[in-house]
């Protein structure tokens, strides 16, 4: 299986399967001299790790990260810093329960990657979805934590803004609220409604889709390279590479279809500090593929988890028509744990573009 690497100058390669002994990543291109400890990475993994509430999979993984290479002691700070060599990170898988997946060994879950993996490679680690499992996204979060250290002044935050048909009220948006409920929801009232709604979905053995919003603030102007290295292009690609993602928007996104030119164009004035001020941000902080200095905003949609308890029509590896019902532990709404993953992908893209900009422009 090729294409397990992402990025150009800041490059993340992930490895490992859901039920193998461990998962890991190698980060190539991280500049030297950046303070980096396991705590810097662990705090983001804590946000993504499974089993934290009844609304996510009950697989119990501590997701304790080990830094295997790429750092050394720093005499100046008495801490440790990156050395500019490949940073290798690893997490051991602790709570594999492969027997749960015996039933799908030779059958294809509708909506999952079983059919395509089998058809393409002819051999498949079916346990927990193998390489197609979102277990891989833990290493994106770990890589994203290192990327954030390359961009110390940039703030990257994500939130769940829609679960099923229930959208947040954007007037209630409070970033602090995202830490007060199990959904990373910025609207307290919506979070209360989602709790009941998701309880019903979960108890029924069903699943539901969701929309995640990621905002990066204090992004320097000028990141991104036309015409095939546009910042928005790379963000879209990064978000689309997350498991279960079926759509990505930048700025006003699909809503801009209903706007007039007057409504959509972000007007510009000069601020008192002599810097340009944009009067709105429909562009999501990117014009012509290059960052404007405004917040970079993006949204992505995740489909409902395909592993559900209701039998669905499918086929097995021999072509027999069968009914598939997926036992095992699953996220009733993958959108919740996709929030820290989206933040990480944003960090990885921005760090890569930051280094690419520096490489070309000095």
Ligand X SMILES: Cc1cc2nc3c(=O)[nH]c(=O)nc-3n(C[C@H](O)[C@H](O)[C@H](O)COP(=O)(O)O)c2cc1C
Q: Provide, rounded to whole angstroms, the least separation between the CB of residue 102 and ligand X.
A: 16
Rounded (to 5) percent helix, strand, coil in the chain: 35, 25, 45
> Does the protein bind ligand X through residue 301 (CB under 6 A)?
no
Exactly one of 19, 112, 124, 127 binds ligand X (CB under 6 A); that residue is 112
> Does the protein bind ligand X through residue 305 (CB under 6 A)?
yes
> Does the protein bind ligand X through residue 238 (CB under 6 A)?
no
Stretch that binds ligand X, among 24-32, 33-41, 238-246, 291-299 (CB under 6 A): 238-246
Partners of 167 in the beta sheet?
Answer: 162
Q: Do residues 141 and 46 lie in contact, with contact meaning Cβ atoms separated by under 8 Å?
A: no
Which residue's CB is nearer to ligand X, number 97 or number 170? Answer: 97
Stretch that binds ligand X, among 197-205, 287-295, 304-312, 314-322 (CB under 6 A): 304-312
For 332, the enclosing helix (H) or strand (E) is none
| Torsions phi, psi for 148 (to 5 deg) | -60, -35
Q: Provide, rounded to whole angstroms, the least separation between the CB of residue 137 and ligand X.
A: 5
DSSP per position, 223-256: --BTTTB-HHHHHHHHHHTSTTEEEEEETTGGGG
Scored b (16 or more CB within 10 A) or e, 261-283 reads: eeebebeeeeeeeeeeebeebbb
My answer on whether omega of the bond before 227 falls inside 30° of 0, hence cis, is yes
Name residues contacting ligand X, limited to 40-59 (CB under 6 A): 57
Per-residue binding letters, 316-355, with ligand X (x by CB under 6 A) = --------------xx--x--xx--x--------------
> Does the protein bind ligand X through residue 202 (CB under 6 A)?
no
Burial class of residue 179 in the structure, from the number of CB atoms within 10 Å of its CB (0-12 exposed, 13-18 middle, 19+ buried): exposed
Question: Taking phi first (over 0 means left), then psi (-120 to 50 degrees means alpha), and beta for anything else, what does residue 350 get?
Answer: alpha
Per-residue binding letters, 113-142, with ligand X (x by CB under 6 A) = x---------------x--xxx--x-----
Q: Provide, rounded to whole angstroms, the least separation between the CB of residue 45 and ligand X.
A: 12
> Does the protein bind ligand X through residue 307 (CB under 6 A)?
yes
Stretch that binds ligand X, among 17-25, 100-108, 194-202, 299-307 (CB under 6 A): 299-307
179 contacts: CB under 8 Å, gap ≥ 6: none
Exactly one of 147, 212, 231, 244 binds ligand X (CB under 6 A); that residue is 244
Which residue's CB is nearer to ligand X, number 247 or number 293? Answer: 247
Partners of 249 in the beta sheet?
Answer: 299
Name which of 99, 33, 119 is nearest 71 in CA terms: 33
Q: Provide, rounded to whole angstroms, the least separation between the CB of residue 334 and ligand X.
A: 4
Which residue's CB is nearer to ligand X, number 170 or number 246? Answer: 246
Q: Do residues 9 and 355 lie in contact, with contact meaning Cβ atoms separated by under 8 Å?
A: yes
Which residue's CB is nearer to ligand X, number 224 or number 342? Answer: 342
**Contact residues for ligand X, defined by CB under 6 A:** 57, 112-113, 129, 132-134, 137, 242-244, 303, 305-307, 330-331, 334, 337-338, 341
């Amino acid at each position: 299986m090729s294409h397990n690497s992402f990025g150009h100058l800041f490059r993340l390669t992930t490895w490992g399967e859901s039920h193998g002994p461990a998962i890991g990543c190698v980060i190539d291109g991280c500049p030297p001299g950046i303070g980096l400890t396991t705590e810097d990475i662990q705090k983001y993994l804590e946000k993504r790790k499974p089993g934290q509430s009844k609304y996510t999979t009950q697989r119990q993984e501590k997701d304790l990260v080990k830094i295997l290479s790429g750092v050394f002691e720093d005499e100046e700070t008495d801490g440790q810093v990156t050395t500019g060599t490949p940073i290798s990170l690893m997490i051991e898988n602790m709570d594999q329960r492969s027997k749960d997946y015996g039933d799908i060994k030779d059958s294809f879950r509708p909506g999952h990657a079983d059919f395509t993996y089998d058809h393409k490679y002819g051999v498949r680690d079916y346990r927990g979805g193998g390489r197609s499992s979102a277990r891989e996204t833990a290493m994106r979060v770990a890589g994203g934590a290192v990327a954030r250290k390359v961009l110390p002044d940039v703030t990257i935050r994500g939130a769940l803004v829609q679960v099923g048909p229930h959208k947040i009220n954007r007037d209630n948006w409070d970033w602090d609220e995202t830490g007060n409920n199990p959904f990373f929801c910025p609207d307290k009232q919506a979070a209360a409604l989602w709790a009941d709604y998701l309880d019903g979905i979960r108890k029924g053995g069903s699943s539901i889709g969701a929309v995640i919003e990621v905002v990066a603030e204090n992004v320097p102007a000028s990141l991104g390279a036309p015409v095939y290295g546009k910042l928005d292009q790379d963000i879209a690609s990064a978000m689309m590479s997350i498991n279960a993602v079926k759509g990505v928007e930048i700025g006003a996104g699909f809503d801009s279809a209903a706007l007039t030119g007057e409504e959509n164009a972000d007007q510009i004035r000069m601020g008192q500090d002599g810097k340009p001020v944009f009067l709105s941000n429909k562009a999501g902080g990117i014009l012509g593929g290059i960052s404007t200095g405004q917040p970079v905003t993006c949204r992505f949609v995740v489909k409902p988890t395909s592993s559900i308890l209701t039998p669905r029509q499918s086929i097995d590896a021999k072509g027999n028509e069968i009914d598939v019902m997926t036992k095992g532990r699953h996220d009733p709404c993958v959108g919740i744990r996709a929030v820290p993953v989206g933040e990480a992908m944003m960090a990885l893209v921005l760090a890569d573009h930051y280094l690419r900009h520096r490489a070309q422009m000095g």
